[in-house]
Amino acid sequence: MDFKRNPDTHFKGIDKLGKKEATEEIRALREGINYHDHLYYVKDSPKISDAVYDKLFQRLQDLEEAFPDLKTGDSPTVRVGAEPVSQLKKIKHKVPLLSLQASLDEKNIESFLKTACKKANSQSVKYVLEPKFDGLSVEVIYEKGRFKYGTTRGNGEVGEDISHNLKTIHALPLSLQHRDDAPATLAVRGEVFMPRDGFMALNKRRVERDEEPFANPRNAAAGLMRQYKSRQVAGKPLSLFFYEILALDGEQPPNHQEVLDQLSRWGLKTSPLNESAFSLKQIENYHRKLAEHRDHLDYEIDGIVIKVDDHSLREALGTRDRNPRWAIAWKFEPRKEVTQVEDIAVQVGRTGILTPVALLQPVDVGGVTVSRATLHNEGEVQRKDIRVGDRVRIIRAGDVIPEVEERVKQRGRKRGKIFKMPKRCPVCNSKVVREGAYHLCTAGLSCAAQLSGHIQHYAARDAMDIDHLGEKAADQLVRREMVHNLADLYALDTNDLKSLDGFAERSATQLYVAIQGAKKPRLDRFLFALGIPRVGRKVAKQLAGEFRSLEKLADASEGEIAKISGIGSEVAAATANFFADDNNREVLERMRKSGVRVQSMPRRGKQPLKGKTFVFSGGLDKMTRDEAKERVEALGARTTSSISGETDYLVVGEDPGSKLDEAEEKGVKRLDKKEFLKLLGNS
């Protein structure tokens, strides 16, 4: 039974099949469908019609329904979506997923090449050139040639399990080709992306359904990959390219070109634009060629990646803390276009910062229709002298966020009025104050424009850590006027939450329990959660450590706050103004009446590590790096991210980076995990 070359779609009745016959047909169907998936999604050269493919797929679904014990986790039918997961689990990567040093400056590329040649003691080094994809970086694990799981990059050391969504992407093989030669365990790195035509079609549907369109293909791909329900992802226009073997049982190929060849042999899609080079001139030609053709590709790229081919030379070059020394990204100049400013609106952000936004005649900027662009602040508008009616050049900053780069002069045309920021908030009519370059709405927790963002920030992992309270839920709570301030969150019941789109009995109960469970926060987390202007996590810790209770901080004067070491006058003013506002005090009192009890910070004990500076490298078994930093900071120490002459200790965990070498060069004492825990115990 062969469904590869000339598939026969005249099938025997399922009721006439025995289990042995069904097992053989299911095996052949899976093999045939995987073969045609590879031709269509990876090789771009289909051999059968869509109608024939659909018949094969439907037959497989029917057989697996009739013989459910024969369905397996790597069957092509899993691509239609599975049961939703309750959360995205955290998984540690096989090896750290490093980020790339990126540059727009050709001089930095020359310097990179010189370093590689010097280390190789050669005038010429072979490089592999690849497009720099603008997508979502993922790690994919195969065991015995079968897909095991896949994760996001996360923080480089730990990612989120998105296996259920990756399985829906047809370009991802659930079983490797030539599986008999595959290592027992294989970890590969790739980039999930959304093709441009699929992105435009998806956004059109979202606009038709009165939903917020995705800003760009990268955001669309990342948003879909982090969905709990894979049925919402199945069928969406997603694909991926693979470009690195991270780890495997056995020997790595000796160079990167052979890695790419091996990935292709296993059926893992690699970019057809990859090339080799031996000189700066060849690299310049490749960079120019891709820059000229990027708008004709069906996916977004924002530069090229230059990689040393020889793995032994890579090992000699080593890595920095966050990126390898054997690879660099040479970015393209951002796309620029010219259009007209129809109006200048003022947007109120989560923290109350007012931002002028140019409303534009829609313009295509690198395949993306842009109808608005940020002007940052009043000073920026005046410096660039932007007025309503002006012609302006739009740039996608970082190749993503549209902003007005400059005004295009028009001779003989009368210009509009000079722009000025409003004195009252355009949303709640509260007073607007200026702090440095920015203008702020003083309403704080009671400004409707800030509320959805306040809720999302309040619920964030580093703040109150309220699961299931994301952007969609927050927007609905505000839009339906179910929540007018943060205190209203604690008055919601499961029936209220069940009325939200996308919520059922179980998810509503989970969110209710999560909200009610967030009633005893530690002071520093609560201060950060409130979204006080200029009070980030570090400042929140400083304030909490100094005042220890919410009541003492709320009653403190601006002068008392400013006395704290490291707290500037702007932070002190923003904090004092926040707690002096009657509306904010009313919200905090209502939260107290709802049962919110902010936990005072514990008294500082002895500080035996005062004056010591710690740096961490690698993972620790018994605690996260942030927890380890908190432990030593509580004992009086200071933590930094880089080795310097002031560093006293380098704590070395699993898979340490280049800091280990730097510590040895500078004579910094190193502590392994056991020694570090002993130091904490003794302190």
Spans of all domains in the chain = 14-71, 102-331, 336-408, 444-593, 613-682
Q: Would the pTM of this model clear 0.75, i.e. be above it?
A: no
Question: In the CATH scheme, what is the code of domain 444-593?
Answer: 1.10.150.20
Looking at residue 209, what is its pLDDT? 39
Q: Any binding-site annotation on 490?
A: no
Half-sphere exposure of 117 (CA within 13 A, CB side): 13
Q: Are 451 and 484 in contact (CB under 8 A)?
A: yes
Read off φ and ψ for residue 133, nearest 5 degrees.
Answer: -75, 145
Looking at residue 591, what is its pLDDT? 95
Pick among 2.40.50.140, 3.40.50.300, 3.30.70.600, 3.10.20.600: CATH of 336-408? 2.40.50.140
Looking at residue 82, what is its pLDDT? 64
- Distance, CA of 647 to CA of 640 (rounded, Å): 8
Half-sphere exposure of 248 (CA within 13 A, CB side): 18
Q: Name the active-site residue from 94, 132, 236, 541.
A: 132
Structure-token match 């601006």, residue found? 558
- Distance, CA of 500 to CA of 509 (rounded, Å): 12
Q: How far is CA 150 from CA 77, 158, 190, 223, 385, in A?
A: 18, 12, 10, 16, 49
Structure-token match 């004709």, residue found? 296
Asked about 420 being catalytic, the answer comes back as no
**Which residues on adjacent β-strands are paired with residue 634?**
none
C-alpha 674 chain-centroid distance: 33
Read off φ and ψ for residue 109, nearest 5 degrees.
Answer: -70, -45
pLDDT along the chain (683 residues), means of 10: 82 88 89 83 76 85 88 80 74 92 92 95 95 93 94 90 92 90 94 86 52 68 84 86 95 95 95 96 97 87 95 93 90 82 82 84 74 86 93 77 88 90 87 86 77 89 90 87 92 93 91 94 93 87 91 94 88 90 90 94 77 88 79 85 89 84 88 90 74
Half-sphere exposure of 571 (CA within 13 A, CB side): 20
In CATH terms, the fold of domain 14-71 is: Helix Hairpins (1.10.287)
- Distance, CA of 93 to CA of 619 (rounded, Å): 11
Q: Any binding-site annotation on 627?
A: no
Tell me, yes or no, if the two domains 14-71 and 613-682 fold the same way.
Answer: no
468 Ramachandran zone, left/alpha/beta (phi>0; psi -120 to 50)? left
Q: Any binding-site annotation on 51?
A: yes
- Token duo for residue 625: 């790096």
Q: Any binding-site annotation on 99?
A: yes
Going by C-beta distance under 8 Å and a sequence separation of 6 or more, which residues neighbour residue 301?
A: 131, 132, 133, 134, 290, 294, 332
**Which residues on adjacent β-strands are paired with residue 353?**
440
Q: Are 234 and 80 in contact (CB under 8 A)?
A: yes
Looking at residue 271, what is its pLDDT? 95
Three-state secondary-structure class, residue 629: helix
Selection from 192, 312, 189 nearest residue 246 by Cα: 189
H or E segment and range at residue 649? strand 649-652
Q: Any binding-site annotation on 447?
A: yes
Looking at residue 211, what is its pLDDT? 45
SS (H, E, C) 131-164: EEECCEEEEEEEECCEEEEEEECCCCCEEEECHH
Looking at residue 283, what is its pLDDT? 97
How many residues belong to the chain? Answer: 683
Looking at residue 398, what is its pLDDT? 59
Q: Any binding-site annotation on 100?
A: yes
Q: Any binding-site annotation on 390?
A: no
- Distance, CA of 151 to CA of 166 (rounded, Å): 9
Q: Any binding-site annotation on 153?
A: yes
Taking residue 613's Cβ as centre, other Cβ atoms within 10 Å add up to: 18
In CATH terms, the fold of domain 102-331 is: D-amino Acid Aminotransferase; Chain A, domain 1 (3.30.470)
Selection from 601, 561, 171, 533 nearest residue 353 by Cα: 533
Which CATH superfamily hosts domain 613-682? Answer: BRCT domain (3.40.50.10190)
Instruction: Find the DSSP H helices in 481-581.
Output: 494-498, 505-516, 523-529, 537-547, 550-554, 558-562, 569-580
Give the dihedral sign, CA 365/329/259/183: negative
Selection from 392, 354, 406, 398 nearest residue 376 by Cα: 354
The amino acid at 367: G
Structure-token match 């008294």, residue found? 603
Selection from 648, 650, 642 nearest residue 620 by Cα: 650
- Distance, CA of 176 to CA of 481 (rounded, Å): 51
In 209-367, the DSSP E strands lie at 239-248, 275-277, 301-308, 327-331, 336-348, 353-365
Three-state secondary-structure class, residue 564: coil
Q: Are 46 and 39 in contact (CB under 8 A)?
A: yes
Q: Any binding-site annotation on 307?
A: yes
DSSP 532: -
- Distance, CA of 1 to CA of 5 (rounded, Å): 11
Q: Any binding-site annotation on 53?
A: yes
Selection from 254, 291, 255 nearest residue 276 by Cα: 255
Half-sphere exposure of 452 (CA within 13 A, CB side): 15
- Distance, CA of 163 to CA of 152 (rounded, Å): 10
Three-state secondary-structure class, residue 189: strand
Half-sphere exposure of 576 (CA within 13 A, CB side): 15
Three-state secondary-structure class, residue 345: strand
Q: Any binding-site annotation on 441?
A: no
- Distance, CA of 553 to CA of 389 (rounded, Å): 48
